Amino acid sequence: MQPLAVVVNQGELEDGGMGLVPGGEALRRVTASLRVWFDYLRDVEKLRQDNPAREIKAPKLSKRHPGALTTEEISQLIKAAVDHSRTSERLRNWTLIAFLFYTGLRVSELCELRVSDIQHRDRLPHSLRVIGKGNRERRVIFSPEAKRSLYQWLQ
């Protein structure tokens, strides 16, 4: 069996010589595929003693943040939550969506909340202790609208 020779260098990958967009997801995928391919040639087929693809640096991807909803879109979302819910679920659904909007919480943070995380002032909800990404704790001070939605839900 003839040894398989594959010549791909970092420059070809980075400058789009393989028909890839520099810095894109496709380039990252090709880099990962080459690593796995050379691992196979080394470990299973015993055709290589090294993995040259391990020397290729995978491009960093830019972090994409989701777009923010407009006030009109949020109003439509809250209205839909009320209009398309059973009577027994309307207040809950309205509260959840309004609370997310008025506090800026992530859905995962909202799902992890406990009643004991709510701080009261003058018997009204005032702030919230949230454990967010990276297990970091932060305080969220309620807007008047968030206080109102939470107070109605808790009654």
- In the predicted model, what is the mean pLDDT of residues 41-55? 89
Percentage with pLDDT > 70 across the chain: 85
Fold of 71-154: hpI Integrase; Chain A (1.10.443)
Q: What is the pLDDT of residue 8?
A: 57
| Beta carbons of 37 and 52 less than 8 angstroms apart | no
CA atoms in the 13 A half-sphere facing the CB of 87: 0
pTM of the model: 0.52
Mind spelling out the 3-state secondary structure of the chain? CCCCCCCCCHHHHHCCCCCCCCCCHHHHHHHHHHHHHHHHHHHCCCCCCCCHHHHCCCCCCCCCCCCCCCHHHHHHHHHHHHHCCCHHHHHHHHHHHHHHHHHCCCHHHHHCCCHHHEEEECCEEEEEEEECHHHCEEEEECCHHHHHHHHHHHC
Query: Which of the four pLDDT bands, split at 50, 70 and 90, describes residue 97?
Result: confident
Domain ranges across the chain: 10-55, 71-154
